[in-house]
Copies of this chain bind each other. A is one copy, B any other.
Amino acid sequence: MTPNEKITTNGLRLTAPRKKILAVFSHQAHPISFEEYASLDTTMDKSTFYRNMQTFEAANIIQGIESDEGKRYFELSDTIHPHFVCQQCHNITCLDETPIPKLNGYHVNSITYKGQCPQCSDL
């Protein structure tokens, strides 16, 4: 599905900010915060960004995850995978090869591990 199709098939209007947002996210290998997004698209308005994050989350186009520093990070939700949040360096890693365990009775959308990443464990 093309970025434009993702937008229109959900009954959403095809606007310039939305196309830009999906274009920027398609180049990311990790979830990013608004702060990081803004450094890649300096003209984006904060409200427009956050409102579209809510819209895209509801439409299952984008997925948000909470860092250990009380900030939200976002990424495209077309590849579902666990994340690792390092409590020392605060980086968020995608665990692309790690399966998501099932839980009886629960509908699991995502998993987040917290701890020390390999770099920080070695020190």
Contact = CB atoms under 8 A, between A and B. Distances in A.
A35 to B, nearest CB: 15
Copies in the complex: 2
A74 to B, nearest CB: 13
Interface residues of A, number: 27
B112 A112 contact: yes
B112 A111 contact: yes
25 contacts: A64-B68, A66-B66, A66-B67, A66-B68, A70-B70, A84-B106, A87-B109, A95-B103, A98-B103, A105-B117, A105-B118, A105-B121, A106-B116, A106-B118, A106-B121, A107-B116, A108-B114, A108-B115, A109-B114, A109-B116, A110-B113, A110-B115, A111-B111, A111-B114, A112-B112
